[in-house]
Amino acid sequence: MGTYVVVALLSLGVFAAYGDRATVGSVEQALGTFGLLLAYGAAVIPLAYCYSFSFSSPSAAQARPQMLLLNTFVGTICRSHLTACHTQ
């Protein structure tokens, strides 16, 4: 979990470096984005467990490119929703 916290903080750094005001425009927004990143990371773990039953071995579910694409797609949808909520 500690590694994921570092990755989430680095993601916030990237948002700040690009001047993304919707995610890190204020302290409250930055904390909200950080909380969303942590919640997403925690939600992916049980989701991957559920997906592991679809594969021949549980470790194959973690290493398959399809899982990476699905998680990236879900993360993109969450990010788009976050941006849309802040621009209204």
Q: Average pLDDT by consecutive 10-residue portion of the chain (88 residues)? A: 85 90 88 90 79 73 69 80 72
In this prediction, residue 62 carries a pLDDT of: 63
Helices marked H in the chain: 2-17, 21-24, 27-52, 58-63, 65-87
> For residues 53 and 46, what is the distance between their CA atoms, to the nearest angstrom?
12
Residue extents of the structural domains in the chain: 2-87
Residue 76 corresponds to which tokens in the numbers above? 């993109």
Does the model's pTM come out above 0.85? no
In this prediction, residue 53 carries a pLDDT of: 78
Block residue for tokens 């939600």: 43
In this prediction, residue 63 carries a pLDDT of: 67
In this prediction, residue 64 carries a pLDDT of: 66
Q: Is 23 helix (H, G, I), strand (E, B) or coil?
A: helix
In this prediction, residue 75 carries a pLDDT of: 78
